[in-house]
Every structure is written in C-alpha cells, then in structure tokens.
Structure 1
Amino acid sequence: MTSLLRVAVRTLCDFTAREGDLDLRFTPAPSAREGIAGHQAVTARRDAGYEREIALEGVQGRLRVVGRADGFDPARGRLEEIKTFRGDLDAQPERHRRLHLAQARVYGALLCRARGFDALEIALVYFDVDSGREQVVAERYSREALEAFFIAQCDAWADWAEREMAHRAARDRALRELRFAHADFRPGQRQLAESVYKAASTGRHLLLQAPTGIGKTIGTLFPMLKAMPARALDRVFFLTARNTGRALALEALSALGMAPAASEPAPALRSLELIARDSACEHPELACHGDACPLAAGFYDRLPQARRAAVERGFLDRAALREVALAHRLCPYYLGQEMAHWCDLVIADVNYWFDSSAMLYALSQQHQWRTALLVDEAHNLVARGRAMYSAELDRGELAHVQRNLPAALGAALKTPLERVARHWRALEREREHQQSGESSGYAVLTGIPAGLGRALAQLVGAVNELMVEQPIGIDSALLRLYFDVLHFSRMLEAAATAGETHYLYDITRYEAGRRGRTCSRLALRNVVPAPLLASRFEAAHAAVLFSATLAPAHFYRDQLGLDAHTPWYDLPAPFAAEQLDVYIAAHISTRYRDREASLDPIADLIAARYAGRPGNYLAFFSSFDYLERLQARLAERHPLVPCRAQRRRMSDSERRDFVAGFTPEGQGVALAVLGGVFGEGIDLPGERLVGAFIATLGLAQINPVNEQMRARMATLFGDGYRYAYLYPGITRVVQAAGRVIRTPADRGEIHLIDDRFARPEVRALLPGWWRLED
C-alpha cells in the first residue's frame, strides 16, 4: 500500500498561500497566552450546541491533510477561524488575511467531506484582546468551490511532497550505510558513541561528561545520525552556546561526507547553520520591509525558487546559504528561518530551542516532529537558561524617554509614562530601609507592587494604541523601552509558572550623571531555570547533553530540570597522567584581600616556569583588574618574559588574532580572564600551548546579588555555597585547564594557584586522571 505524507493544514497553507513582501515592521500583537485567552473568550460566547476544536482529516492524492478547526456553529452552518489581534484591524497586512482565509477554506472543504454538507459559511472572527470586540468577515461557499480550492492547494504542494518523501527515503538509506569518519575510534570514543545511540534508541535523555580530546562532536553526531532512520527521527538539532561549537559540528559533517563542495552532488542529509540576525544581515542600515530593503521586497514571491535551490544544495552553512539567498535576491537570515522547516539537521545556538520564544521548539510543536537534541558544552546551559528567563528595567531609560518624548507623542504617552515613574519612585522610597550587604543601594523585593505592574501594563497598552496610528522608529528609545517592558511582563508570567522560589526580585539604586542624581534598576532574576527548561526536554524524543565538565551530576540535573534518574556517564580520559603535570601553589592566596601580596609570587612563578620550558602559556585571572596588575608586575620584575593580554571588549577580529598568536614556534605568556572567551572552546594542540596558570578558584564575586542567590540555593538544595559558588567556579577552572592537553601526543603543565585547591572537597571535583603535586 502506498504510504501517505501527513501535512498539517497550517503547513499546507503556509507553503501555498503566502505571497508579497517580507515585512518585519513592528505591529502590536497579542502574546501566546493572550491568544489562548482570546480564543476561549470567543467560544465561551457561543450557544450550547457550538462545537470547539474539531479534528479534521482528508486524503487527496498521496497527502493526508490534518488539522483542528477552531469552531463550528451547526445551527448557522458556520465554520469559524478565530484570530486575535490588537489595534486597528485594517492596519493588519492583507497577506495575513489571505493566509487566514486559505486555512478556513481548507477546513471547510474537510468538514464538507466529513459531514456531507452542500455549503458552508466560512467566517474569519477577529478578536481584539484589548477591547474584547469581535469583527467577523464571512462568506458562503458551495461544497464544490471549497473542494476545488482544497484540491488546488494540494496540487500546489504535491510536487514538493513527492520530493520530500523521496528525500526522506534517500536520507534514511544513506544514514543506514553511514560509516565513521576514521578507521577507528579514539580511546573512549566508541563508548561515547554507543551511549548516544542507546539514548536515542530508548528515547531517554543523557548527561555525558567526556574529556577534552576524546572527539565529542563527531562522537555524538555520528551515532545520532545513525539513529535517525532506526528510530524514525524527523530532525536532529545540534545546539551550542559558542560559535566554535558550530564550526566543530560543520567540520564533523565534512568528515562524514555530508558537506560537499557546491559543484558536487547534494548530500543525502540536509543540514543548516543558523546564525544571529546581526551577523547575517546584508543591509543593517535598512528596515526589514519591502519599502526599505530590496531583499525583503517580493520575498515570498521569489521564495519557492530559492527554497528549491537550497534543498538541491543540501549543505547550507553560512556561506552556502548566503550564496543561494543573494542569487535569488532574498535576505539570507530569513531564508535560513524558512529552511529550518526543510532541513534534517540544524546547527544553532541553544536559544533556538530553550528560549521563551524559541523557533526550533515552536516548529517541532507545530509539525509534531520527532526530534533529538545534541547540546554541546552543556555546562553553559545553566547560566544561559537563567539569562533567557530573566529581565531588567532601568528607570534611567524611562526618564530618558520622558525627557526626549516628541511633542506629537506627548498627548498619548505623557500620562502613562508619568504613572510608571510615580509608582517606581514610591517603590524606591519604600525600600530605602530594606537595603542589604555592602551596597547600600540594593534591596530584595517580595514581588512587583501591584500598582507598578498595572502602570507598566497601561504603558504597553498606550504604546500599542499609538503604533496603530503611526509607526515608531525601530531604533527609538521608546520602542526599546516598550520591548523591555514586554519582556519583563512575560518573565513575570514565567516566574508564576516556575514558582516564586525559583526567582529573585530586587532593586538597585545607582548614581546617574554628575549631579548625584539617583536612579534604579528593577530586576527579575531567574535563580534556577529547571522548571522552565524541563518542558523543552520533555518535548524532545531524546536529548544528549555533553561537556568536559558536567560534575557533579546532581547539580546539573537540579539546575536543568532533568529527571533525578537521568543517566550520567563519566567517560575515561584518553590521556595518561604522565602527559600532564599538575601543581598546586598552596602558599599563595588569591582572595580579594590578598591580591596585592600575591602579585610578586605569581609573577615569579610564571617567570620561573617559562625559563624552565620556553613556549606558549596561558595565565587566567578572576578579573581584568587583577590581570592588568599582574601584567604590570611581570613587566617590572621579569621584563624578558614576552607577555600579551586579553583586553576588555575585544572585537571578533581581535579575538581571532589573540588565538592565532599561539603558533607552534611561538613563545610567551598570554593573560586572560577565567570564564571569558579564551577559557573554553579554543583548540591549541601540541606546542601551541604547553602550560596554564590559573590564579583563581573561579568563584563568583561576593556581592549582594550572589549572596541572595546562595541563600535561595540553600533553601532549594540545602547547600548554597556549593551550588552558587564552588561548582560553577571549578567548572571554569577545569575548562580553562582543558586547553593544555588536546591529543595523546601533547605534554604540558597546569599550575593551580590558591591554597584552597589543596582542600579535599575541592580536589574531589578535579578530573580523576590528573596527578596532583603540591
């Protein structure tokens, strides 16, 4: 029996009914929660016989089209498609209405097939979430007209559907025959690959601590690709927190024969690299709509040809995607967003799955994909998760908007802005006596005062109404403030979902300007992202999180929202202890109070080891201030030791030049900040790096915020110091030390500079294969 290709109504219409320009001009829109509430409000008004969420399905050719119509009124013979909006309906793009009508007509055809109706009234019900009013656009269609429209949409999709089915079959055949890139696995790499394949096969999540040098990227990617046909996986997402992770994944694809040159046949596996919009934009000075940018004008008219060219290319790294996009006069970034629908493997930043508005997660939910995740350098997901679900508002920015508000906007926004400022100042006065720590301007809040919350909501509503009447410049301070307030409001919803114990509310006073004027920042800080990340893991068939530093296991399970029974494997290192000499300088303290006294002995230690074995060294410090003071002291006491240093706010090219300075023939000491861009993700094998000095335990700075985080961790997990300070600090140390030994042929040394490294509880967190010498 011929198999059928399942397609959702929304997917079908997105493919066949979109046309015209790409238009990213901001228009106020309901949030997802407001949209759900709007649908419920509309259907609650209907009569008792009204049917909600009607599951529909129909076969046309080789397609099985499925979906859920919003509502049906049997008494009136009216099928309703409900859409929420805010503002002026007439200001909504006409192409949106055409798409909505196409979806409603397809649902109408399916309902006529299912129930034998001769005709239906098709209604688009637009619900204004602010006013609660409905606007209905309705028209009666015969069964024949709806059927003809449905067949036309399916015919438009049919050729693409046939290609997709052929591609899936060819992909699965190729992946079944896929062979490892090398003649044999590295030591420990086979165990790594087998554990990944087993996780994918059993539909489980897995934490993998695998040492640097074992070949984690290809060792995880290869078995997951092999599992795709065996477990009927639709998509694999390789997620990473660093650009270097994307580059390694692309190199692994090349090694597996899945990244051919443009002149070669397309690979069986379609792969896509997603990069940030700022990096991909061809015309950053232009707005994203057809009236301003030539790559947005007619975007959807030229998309079908570009889409076909892209799938024929197959391997879409940044350069290939840009080449296809520009050949068809399209924006590379938004072509990449479109191709995420059609590629088997997507390499992207972790926010594409875990952020509150993550695109890959949304696509997986929309298409009901069977998805597997590979999360590279997964230790970073703790901090990234907190950042994704935190928010901050600055009264200084509010005041700036008030001072510079154009006269044309004053009538609409002056009162809402003043109302927010008034409630904010009242909060500042109320909290002046609830300050903590050394920072006299810091205070913890029990929540956001109701009056301030209402004022913020009213400000959002006022800006929404204003934007209906006139556009607001995309770079304006008002629009930036509006987005900040929107995000803050959504994070308040996230806090309610996660639970108040997982969030910290605080306010910090600071001096603004030279006249001693004070302002404040209001923060909603995520402490533990686990409840919010857990739903994203639940949506994946399998997820493998891997890193050289994922210990202790319970810390990462607790922070990331993984089940307490999630397997955790610690793979043995492929190195011998004799390759690495690890020394603890227990006679030196790098505590803040001891830093001045530590400069001379650290400078002398670096100079002595460099004299004993000239070569390339990295030295890590807890801050730029500490680094700069050590650099000056080293130049003063040992001027013959070549020294260079990481600078604050280095550009991408400066970072590349810094890494390029580690040549096999080079000699000198490079100073860097622990936890920064040079503390992980750079590969310096052989003589490119022969040693590292780590003059810090890696602990976060003790300040009022971190102390509140420690207290909250103690409440949640019983050990605030380890969760807030020690575990993250040692992770940074081990990551930095991992730059030294990269291959079985490397030889090097590490100097851990602080007396606390000698403590048993700290030594227990260091890699087991290290041979420690005091």
Structure 2
Amino acid sequence: MSPTENTATPRLVDEAAADAPLGAVAVRTLCDFAARRGDLDLRFTPSPSGSEGVAGHGEVTSRRGAGYQREVPLASQWRGLRVQGRADGWDASAQRLEEIKTHRGDAAVIADNARALHWAQARVYGWMLCEQLGLERIELVLIYFNIDTGQETPLSETQNASTLRAHFEDLCERYSGWARQERAHRSARDAALRALVFPFPEFRAGQRALAEAVYRAHAAGRVLMAQAPTGIGKTAATLFAALKAAPAQGLDKLFYLTARTTGRQLALDALARLGAASQAPARPVLPLRVLERVARDKACEHPDKACHGESCPLARGFYDRLPAARAAAAQAGWLDKTALRELALEHSVCPYYLGQEMLRWSDVAVGDVNHFFDLGAHWHGLTLEHGWQTALLVDEAHNLIERARAMYSAQLDPAAFQALRRNAPAALKKGLDRLHRQWNALAREQESEYTVLPEPPGAFNAALQQLCGEIGDHLALHPQDAAGGPLQAWFFDALHFQRVAELHGEHSLCDLTRTPHPAPGTRMAQPLISLRNLVPGPLLQDRWSAVRGATLFSATLAPMDYVADLLGLPADTLRVNVPSPFAGEQLAVRVAPHISTRWTDRLASLTPMADTMAAQFAAEPGNYLAFFSSFDYLAQALDRLQQRHPAIPVWAQSRGMGEPEREAFIARFTDSGQGIGFAVLGGAFGEGIDLPGRRLIGAFIATLGLPQVNPVNEQLKARLQAKFGRGYDYTYLFPGVQKVVQAAGRVIRSEQDHGTVWLLDDRYARAEVRRLLPAWWHVRSGEPQAR
C-alpha cells in the first residue's frame, strides 16, 4: 500500500505483507481507534484524577472474594499485530471478567461514545481470556464505580467466544490496515528526509552555522539555546536541520512552538518551501504530514452551540464519520487551519476535534507554546501516554519565561465570586457562603494594601475544594448549568487555582491585594488572591526530560544564564551565539544623552523627544516606528509631536486592537510611504513583524523597557536575588533590554537594508546597558542626519 492510498476501513490484499510484524498495540489504543461510535459529547462530566482512578479500582477489587484475580495480563496475536493489556478483574469460578471505570456523578449521564469504548475494551479482554483458557462463553461485566459514594453500577452481558473473536478480528483489521499504511508512510517520510536538501541556492550568512548547531544537538538528543540575529532565516534553518536529524533519531513528532500567531505562519511558509506542500497544499510533495493547531474558540464553527450531538451538527455522529475524515486528512498531508477546516466540513465533523485526532498521525505540529508547556498540556500528555520520540523547536524563546509564569499562576477575583454567589443555584448556597466567610477572614487578617502569605491559606483552600466538589456534583446532575455559563467558567478557574496551589513551592508566591470597594451585596472589601509563579524552571523540567531534543531560538537570548536559570534547562544544554551577518554601517544607533524617560522626567522629555524625531524625519523622510513604555506615555508624546510638527504623518496603536486594526496599522508601512507609527514596547509591533527595505527605515525607542517597580516585582527581585544572586538584573534590566533589542530588530531585515535607531534615554550611555546590546551595533551620541 502506498503512503497516499487510504480508506476509512483499509482491507488487506497482500497476505505476505499482512503477516509481517506490526509490533504491539495496547487494548485501549486499539479500541480508541477502531471502536468509538456516535456523537462527540463534551457535556460536563466530573472525572476523577489519575490517582483517584487507581484508588477506585483498588476499592472495587478489594470487595471481591478469594480466588479473584486482579490486573490479569493478557495478549493475543493477529496477522503480525500483538494486542496486549491488563484486564481489571477475573472471577474464574463464575467465569466473569470485570472492566472497571471510575466516575463522579450519575452513571446514567456517561456519554454513549464513552460507553461504546468501554464495552469494546471489555469484549477484547473477553476474547483474549476465551482464547487463553479455551472458553466457549464468558460473562462480561462493565462496572461504573462512583468514587464519591462508593456505589457500583454493574452492566453485564454473556458472550460466545466466536462472537468475541469476530469483534476482536474486526477491530484488528481496521487498526492493522491503518498501521501498515502508517509504517509505509514512515518509511517514505524518513527516506525523503534523509535526502532533503536546503530549499534555497545557498545559506545566508550565519544561517548554516545555526542549522549545523541544531542538527548536532538534535542528533545527540540534547537541548540547544541558539541566539541568532533577526533576518538570517532562523525558521527555515531550524526546521531544515531538525527534520534532517529526525530519521536517525527515530523521531515520531516535531513540535514547532511559538508565542505569536505570526510565528505559526512563518513556520508553515518555511515547511511549504521545504517541500511539505506544493501550490495545491492538498497534494504533498514531501511525504510529511503537517498540522497547524489553533485555539478551540478560533476553530469553532458554531460558537453559539454546545459541544454535543443534540446541539451541534458537527458533533452529531462525529465518531461515525471520523474514520473517513481521518483517512482523507492523512492522505492530504498538509493541514493548516484553512485546509483542515475545509476537509472537516466536507466530512461534516468538527475541525478542532479532527485536528486533535490528527495530532496522533502527524509528523510536524505547529502551534502555541501552551500546547506543550501548559499545566496539563495535551501535546505533552500524549507524548507521555504513547511514548512518542518528540523534538521541540521553540521560536522567540525569550517569551517563554513570561508565558510559563502565566501558565503556572492563578488568581481568584472576589467580584466574580460575589456575582456568582448572587445568581448561583440554591443547592450551592451553603458551600458558597462557607467560602465567602473564609474570604472575609482573609480580609480581616490583611494589614496592608499588599500582603504576602507564606503559603496558600489552608482554611480558604479547604472551603474552595469542598465547594468545587459540590459544583462538580451539581453540574453532573444539571448539565444545562454547564453550557458555557458563569458557573462553569468560575468552576474551571477555581479548579485551576487548586491545581496551582498543589504545586506551590519556593518557585511561587501567594499574595493578597486589597480591592478598593466591597462587591455589590457585601459589606467588606475582599482581597484579590493570587498564586504567582516566579521561577518556572522547576515546573518545566519534566517537559525537557520528555523530549528527544529541543532548540530554543531567538534574536534575544542574552544573557543565556538568565534564560537557562529561569526555564530550568538541563545542565548539559548546548549554547550557540550566531554572529550577525549585518555590518555596523548598515544601522546608525544613536543615543540622546539629554533625554530621560524616567517616570519623574516624562513631562520634561516630551519636547526634546518630539524635536529629535522631527529632525531625523526631516533628515531622511520615510517610515519609522516609535516605541513607548505605556499607552499613556505614547499618547502624550504623540500629542506633543502633532503640536510642534503637525506636517509629519502619524498613526498609533490603541488598546485592545483586533486583528483587522493591527493589519491596517502594518499596511501603512509601504515602500513609498512616509510617517511615524506609534506603538507600545513589548506589544504586537515590537517583534514578529517583517518590514524590509523602505517599508521601515528607522525606530525611536523612548524607554529602557524596564518592568514597572511595584510590590510584586520587588518580591520577584528579592526571590531571584536569593536564588541566583542577580535580583535586579533578572527582574528589571535583562527583560527590559531584550524588548528594546527586539524592537530595534524590526529595522534591519536583510543584508541590503539600512536604517537608524534612536535610543531616547540617557541610561543607554551606561556601560552595564551597552554590554547587553548587540555587538555589531555601533552606538554613538549624535545629531539626526540622513544616511
């Protein structure tokens, strides 16, 4: 079977190939692939944790009598496929096999597709026992065990061995046909990657050095930090090298992770150039399956409908149509968000959940960093569950520090809680009032506007945990209250808070921030309670250990000790700093030593800043970007420039800009355009945009980029000082200058570009700041002039 041939239920015609070894597959994986039926049903059903499930199995089996066998290992062969697993329980005297599933709430509301999967597993185990013991008949019992009440709900059936065998062989044929196709695809993919050539006539300066470093690191299964200047083609170089190293690694998946939407598109463009797609993306050139993943709310076709068959037409019969959609998607190979959506709608299935299925069968997945690094991240979970050999490429990796901090932080707002309390179902009133009293107790104990607690408050957490259990039970019995309303939203926030609280340690901070006014209907202003991750490294170490190799790359990874410390990178992490291919003569970097953008000096800075910008614009008209530390400062500077130099065209970033507004802002930068675009440093236009040639000839950076001095950042500084001895640098200086270098990197995008960057703050003259700027910059004080 060729790698492009596919059907919903592959049938084998070559008996010799059919008997070739296919390796082992777990019973759960076999059934999950071949036995699901019916609707996609994501109505809320509270599920036990992994440890609770294990404890529940133990409780059920402990109730059985002497001679009852637990965790019975079973295996069976079918045409080169070995199916294996452990049956939960076997009563030889009664010839009864038990399959145990733990749950919360009413067993009657367990989704039909889940029941179909559970019965399929029980019947596969039933056949393997019949085969092993020579039984003609067997009783199968599916037991749903409520871990909260201890109640067992047994469902039983008696089956003939011949019927179970036919069921087993049908599942095996469905799966093994797919498995043989996958083996052929893998062989063709690896052969193509071994022969892969760089898609350009030659490497750019610095690009080969980067590609070689990535190849060596991935071939050795190591982590690499790579700092390489903007404009040398980092995306193409890292993808080429990682794919080239994949066959020798036995790599299953390459995950390309980015913190920005623009990064996804750059990766897809590079993959297309490497040959993963032709002008018609549905016809792959390389036998390489590429999948783009977007957030569920951006992929949803019916945001006004709930995710179950009674509401959404794309959820109705999802698992019945999934095999054909999956086969077509595998044959298509190229599944960016547009191609995936079109294919999914052609088969009348949900695009988001088809994409989730196709992650299992893709070679390269492109998505946000949260897919792998978030608490409970799906990509990381599947990597562990299936034992995938996975490699990572982390684009703009300097962003991962703040993104990871956010992933492992949580906050509960008293205003949202009080709004919920006023409108919640009566059955939850007691639990809500209990938490309300604990919140009041925290308010009474708070002595200042901002208070740091030594650990998450025990009594508050206990009340929160009890309330979450009550809400979970309520939603299981009243699924209509879980249809995306405020109760479910707050419940998910509370569950996340609990999970983060369980991880609390010296890497995190628990604090209370006093709110200015009591919430409506309350007499006391309750504090905002926050769990803030300060050092994500200890929580990311299991992510680094789960992968075969990883490259973190950016134009701003310096100082590398700072990044490695905060991200918890392995001690043997490799490092490479690729020299810039750009000459100092291409970029005039000028400091304005007479301007201070410190908070106390901002009003005084406005006039000299406006005059400097106007003088540079007069000396060399064209397109410029001006970056500021806040929207308020931006507005003041824009107003002063318009007052003093009204002839200069200007446009400005605004708060909460949507995608169309951002695109319109960028569209103003044309080859023949002139003017100054005002933006906030660290925002949407400070990195990830490409304005080559005359589209952008200069930038004004009116800030050192330092984070705001506030109680939280001062706590962070103290913690980082104690842990690393570099509190101020790690909290303020390094992240600030990284943003500056990123923003300045918008100006020079190729070896043909020339431009000017103005650093509008006297602190840029300091040696400790200068050392953090790119070595190829020639920084000088000077007057505006044309190049």
TM range (shorter): over 0.9
* Number of the residue aligned with 1:386: 405
Equivalent positions of 1:221-260 (< 5 A) are: 221-260=239-278
Corresponding position of 1:438: none
In the TM superposition, 1:148-187 aligns within 5 A as: 148-187=166-205
Question: How much has 1:578 moved relative to structure 2?
Answer: 1.2
User: 1:414 aligns to what?
Assistant: 429
What residue in structure 1 maps to residue 368 of structure 2? 349
Asked if structure 2 preserves the Cα contact closer than 8 Å seen for 1:5 and 1:161, the reply is: no
Task: Give the match's secondary structure for 1:501.
Answer: coil
Partner of 2:469: 461
Contact 1:590 1:695 in 2 (8 A): yes
Which amino acid letter does the alignment assign opposite residue 456 of structure 2? I
Asked if the contact 2:139–2:158 (Cα under 8 Å) also holds between the matched residues in 1, the reply is yes
Deviations 1:666-703 (A, max 9, x none): 11111110010100000011111111111111111111
Closer, same or farther in 2 for the Cα pair 1:744/1:44, shift >3 Å? farther
Summarize the alignment of residues 599-638 of structure 1 with structure 2, pairs less than 5 Å apart: 599-638=606-645
The match for 1:509 among 503, 507, 514 is 514
Work out which of the residue numbers 315, 338, 363 in structure 2 matches 1:319: 338
Q: Is the 8 A contact 1:396 1:512 kept in 2?
A: no
Where does residue 34 of structure 1 map in the other structure?
52
CA distance in 2, matches of 1:549, 1:565: 21
Deviation at 1:31, TM superposition (A): 3.1
What residue identity is the alignment partner of 1:422? R
The answer for the alignment partner of 2:81 in structure 1 is: 63
Tell me how far 1:188 sits from its aligned partner.
Answer: 1.2
- Whether 1:274 aligns to 2:296 is no
Q: Distance in 2 between matches of 1:502 and 1:46?
A: 45
Q: What pairs with 1:708-727 in structure 2 (closer than 5 Å)?
A: 708-727=715-734
Amino acid at match of 1:502: H
Partners of 2:169 and 2:602 in 1: CA distance:
76
Provide closer, same or farther for how the CA distance between residues 71 and 733 of structure 1 changes in structure 2, counting only shifts above 3 A.
Answer: farther
Residue 520 (str. 1) matches residue 527 (str. 2): yes
Q: 1:587 aligns with which of 594, 616, 623?
A: 594
* Matched ranges for 1:273-312 at <5 A: 273-312=292-331
Q: Structure 1 residues 197 and 649, CA, compared in 2 at 3 Å: closer, same or farther?
A: same
Return the letter of the residue paired with 1:152: D
Structure 1 Cα separation of the partners of residues 187 and 125 of structure 2: 30
Query: How far 1:42 sits from its partner (Å)?
Result: 4.4
Partner of 1:401: 420
Kindly indicate whether the alpha-carbon contact (under 8 Å) linking 2:103 and 2:146 is maintained by their aligned counterparts in 1: yes
5+ long unaligned stretches in structure 2: 1-18, 782-787
Structure-1 separation of matches of 2:377 and 2:513: 30
Alpha-carbon distance change, 95 to 767 in structure 1, aligned in 2, over 3 angstroms: same
2:495 pairs with 1:486: yes
- The counterpart of 2:655, out of the listed 648, 658, 666, is 648
Aligned-partner SS, 1:518? coil
Q: CA deviation at 1:185?
A: 0.7
Could you say which residue in structure 2 is the equivalent of 1:704? 711
* CA distance in 2: counterparts of 1:474 and 1:69, whole angstroms: 36
What is the letter of the counterpart of residue 722 of structure 1?
A: D
* C-alpha distance in structure 1 between counterparts of 2:35 and 2:397, whole Å: 40
- For the residue of structure 2 that corresponds to 1:257, the secondary structure is helix
CA offset at residue 731 of structure 1? 1.1
SS of 1:511's equivalent? Answer: coil
* Further displaced range: 616-625 or 286-295: 286-295
Is the alpha carbon distance of 1:423 and 1:511 closer, same or farther for their aligned partners in structure 2, counting shifts above 3 Å? same
Does the C-alpha gap of structure 1 residues 150 and 126 become closer, same or farther in structure 2, counting only changes over 3 Å?
Answer: same
Q: Which has the larger displacement, 242-251 or 305-314?
A: 305-314
Q: Is the 8 A contact 2:76 2:84 kept in 1?
A: yes
Contact 2:670/2:695 (8 A) holds in 1:
yes
Secondary structure of the corresponding residue to residue 207 of structure 1 = strand
Match of 1:265 among 283, 287, 291: 283
2:207 — aligned with what?
189
Note the C-alpha offset of 1:605.
Answer: 1.0
Distance apart, 1:621 and its partner CA = 0.6
Displacement after TM superposition at 1:513 (Å): 7.6
- The answer to whether structure 1 residue 423 and structure 2 residue 438 are counterparts is yes
Q: Secondary structure in 2 aligned to 1:256?
A: helix
Structure 1 residue 50 displacement after superposition: 6.5
C-alpha distance 425-146 of structure 1, shift in aligned 2 (>3 A): same
Paired residue type of 2:566: Q
Deviates more, 1:274-283 or 1:516-525: 516-525
Measured in 2, the distance between the counterparts of 1:578 and 1:41 equals 74
Deviation per residue, 1:648-667 (Å, 9 max, x gap): 11111000111111111111
**Partners of 2:60 and 2:145 within 8 A in 1:** yes
1:529 and 2:529 matched: no
The corresponding residue for 2:785 is none
Cα deviations across residues 491-544 of structure 1 (Å, max 9, x unaligned)? 11222xxxx111110111222489997342111111111111110111111111
> Which of the residues 739, 742, 746 maps onto 1:739?
746
| Change beyond 3 A, Cα 1:601–1:60 | same
Contact 1:236 1:373 in 2 (8 A): yes
What percentage of residue pairs aligned between the two structures are identical? 55
Point out where structure 1 has 5 or more consecutive residues left out of the alignment.
Answer: 436-440
CA RMSD in angstroms, aligned pairs only: 2.2
Q: Which moved more, 1:81-90 or 1:24-33?
A: 24-33
Residue 191 and residue 422 in structure 1: after superposition, are their counterparts in 2 closer, same or farther (change >3 A)? same
Take 1:550 and 1:72, find their aligned partners in 2: how far apart are those partners?
A: 57
Alignment check: 8 A CA contact 2:390 2:549 kept: yes
Q: Deviations over 1:459-503 (max 9, x none)?
A: 1122122223222052322222111111111111222xxxx1111
Q: Report the CA distance between 1:52 and its aligned residue.
A: 5.5
Superposed displacement of residue 263, structure 1: 7.7
| Offset at residue 555 of structure 1 (A) | 1.3
Partners of 2:377 and 2:666 in 1: CA distance: 32
* Aligned partner of residue 402 in structure 2, secondary structure: helix
**Structure 1: distance between partners of 2:759 and 2:538:** 36
Q: Give the corresponding residue for 1:86.
A: 104
2:660 partner amino acid: S
1:678 match: secondary structure? coil
Matches within 5 A, 1:635-714: 635-714=642-721
Farther-moved stretch of structure 1 (73-82 vs 181-190): 73-82
Task: Using the TM superposition, name which of 129-138 and 272-281 deviates more.
Answer: 129-138
- 1:420 CA drift (Å): 0.5
Structure 1 residue aligned with 2:385, among 366, 372, 375? 366
Name the CA shift for 1:144/1:755 in 2 (closer, same or farther; >3 Å): same
Which residue among 205, 224, 233 is the counterpart of 1:206?
A: 224
1:339 is aligned, of 352, 358, 368, to: 358
Shift of residue 148 of structure 1?
A: 3.1
Contact (CA 8 Å) 1:207, 1:568: kept in 2 or not?
Answer: yes
Q: Which amino acid aligns with 1:382?
A: I
> What secondary structure does 1:665 align onto?
coil
How many residues get paired?
759
TM-score (norm 1): 0.94
Q: For residue 713 of structure 2, give the secondary structure of its aligned residue in structure 1.
A: helix
Matched, 1:755 2:756: no
Distance 1:449 1:264 in 2: 55
TM-score normalized by structure 2?
A: 0.92
Contact 1:396-1:520 at 8 Å conserved across structures? no
| Equivalent residues of 2:22, 2:176 under 8 A apart | no
